[in-house]
Amino acid sequence: MRLREWFVFALLFVFAALTLCACKKAEGEKKESFLQIGEFAVNRISADRTEVTDGAGRKLLLIPRNAPMPKDYNPNQVIRVPVKSVVAYGDFEIATLRALGVLEDTLVGVTRPEKKWYYDDVKNGFKSGKIVFLGEPQSLDYEKLKNQQPELVLTWDPSVIPMLEDLHIPAIVTSTPIAMCLNARMKFVKFLAPFFNKDKEADLYFDKVNKSLIALRERTAQSKNKQKVMWGDIYEKRVLVEPGNAWVGELLGYAQTNYLFNDVYGTSCIEISVERFLHSGEEADVYFTYRSKGAGATSKEALARTNPLVKTIRPLTHGKVFIPLPHYTQSGDKLDEIFTELAAIVHPDVYPDYKLKYFEELPAKEPNTKGK
């Protein structure tokens, strides 16, 4: 009996000592060694080795351009940094390259044709021939892709990974099974920074966005209205919304609103039932739709025509409806402005005279039929 007690105490002592040592080590190395960004991660193993985890959980190793190829890694998952040429699928990734100040020097291929770009840096890249349209994501032209000799592909589509591995082009998956939270959205720039040795720029950008978040929180706290907000759309065959865990859901919470899909959890643009959508629609004050003017959302009346069920929701009869402007999705490098704009939309009383840049409020009727 006595022996057992001694044994237990000895074990307790060893574990307590180990935990204390580990805590001390973690405190000392906390900031520089490991960074988790939602489902992404950056682990600085040493000065010459940084391991990153992409949105699909794949690990890739970043090494300096002149370093020898490590033997313990699959060469397809080793990326030499700073990366000099990138192919990117998503608007947000491209905007993040802009935030890091590397877009013009590194972007060589995209999956959206020239006429669908709104920012000059990408347009100029097309004009000079540096940036090439590689085809739609579902039918990528791999010959063109190979000709561009990218050192990295940023893709949301994991199905291209086997082909890219066959072409010996390293790739990272930027989509995640669960929607990107607000923290991950703001820190994504810190995930891409080590690929270009732009950590300082990433920190500055993050600080700027973080300041805007703090500012909008303080300002919206003064508002007397707590608006009820919904974000999504009814399409012909499905109803898609932004879940509460997505960055817009969290942001609207920070902006002192009641986001009506807070109970919905999952991927971005998640499908829910029509009944659930209409239930929230009964009490909502503000409605953000995915549709743009090009997709028929020119007025509340026009929106109601696209689906008779939508016309029953409160924002169309007594509230406000906002649509994203075409350049909104390509403006991910202006997160601070977008955050402030969303706060201004839901709290016009504390943002008087705010002029919208990324969203537009829908009029009740088509402008040309007004007054008839």
Partner 1 sequence: MKLAIYICLALVMDLGYGYLSIKRHTTLFAPLNDIGVIEWSETYGLHNLEHTAWFFILIILLTFLGVNTFICTTDRMLVLTRARKNMEPLRFMFSLAPHVMHYAVLIILSGYLCSYLFSTVIPMKSLIPGMPVPIGNSGLTVTMQKLELDYYTGRRMPLFYNYALGVQARLLIADGAHQRQATLGINDPVWSGAYGIFLKDYSPRKKDGGMKRASDRVDVSIRKDYGVYFYMAGMLFFFVGLLFYVYGMVYFKLLKKGTS
Residue 20 makes contact with partner 1 by CB under 8 A: no
User: Considering beta carbons, is residue 179 or 350 the nearer one to partner 1?
Assistant: 179
- Residue in the structure block whose two tokens are 């919206």: 220
Site for partner 1 in 164-193 (CB under 8 A): 165-166, 177-178
CB of 201: closest distance to partner 1 in angstroms? 23
Question: Binding partner 1 by CB under 8 A: which of 104, 105, 157, 201?
Answer: 157
If one counts every other C-beta atom within 10 angstroms of the C-beta of residue 259, the result is 26
User: Considering beta carbons, is residue 166 or 263 the nearer one to partner 1?
Assistant: 166
**Distance between CA 95 and CA 333 in Å, rounded?**
5
Among candidate residues 220, 200, 215, the one with its CA nearest the CA of residue 99 = 200
List, as own/partner pairs, every contact residues 184-190 make where C-beta atoms lie below 8 angstroms and the sequence separation is at least 24, other chains included: 184/37, 184/38, 184/39, 184/40, 184/247, 185/247, 185/335, 186/210, 186/213, 186/335, 187/35, 187/37, 187/38, 188/37, 188/40, 188/92, 188/96, 189/96, 189/99, 189/100, 190/35, 190/37, 190/42
Can you list the alpha helix ranges (DSSP code H) found in 71-177? Answer: 91-100, 103-106, 120-128, 142-147, 161-166
Residue 142 makes contact with partner 1 by CB under 8 A: no
Question: Binding partner 1 by CB under 8 A: which of 88, 94, 102, 161?
Answer: 161
User: Considering beta carbons, is residue 247 or 347 the nearer one to partner 1?
Assistant: 247
Residue 23 makes contact with partner 1 by CB under 8 A: yes
CB of 138: closest distance to partner 1 in angstroms? 6
Q: Which stretch binds partner 1 (CB under 8 A): 80-88, 159-167, 203-211, 218-226?
A: 159-167
| Token duo for residue 28 | 């000392």
**Distance between CA 266 and CA 258 in Å, rounded?**
19
Residue 56 makes contact with partner 1 by CB under 8 A: yes
CB of 89: closest distance to partner 1 in angstroms? 10
CB of 129: closest distance to partner 1 in angstroms? 28
Contact code string over 68-107 relative to partner 1, x by CB under 8 A:
------x---------------------------------
Residue 127 makes contact with partner 1 by CB under 8 A: no
Kindly determine how many residues on this chain lie close enough to bind partner 1 according to the rule CB under 8 A: 46
Report helix, strand or coil for 110: strand
Residue 146 makes contact with partner 1 by CB under 8 A: no
**Distance between CA 275 and CA 281 in Å, rounded?**
10
If one counts every other C-beta atom within 10 angstroms of the C-beta of residue 281, the result is 24
Binding residues for partner 1, per CB under 8 A? 4, 7-8, 11-12, 15, 19, 22-23, 25-26, 30, 33-34, 36, 38-39, 41, 43, 53, 56-59, 74, 137-138, 156-159, 161-163, 165-166, 177-178, 235-238, 269, 271-273
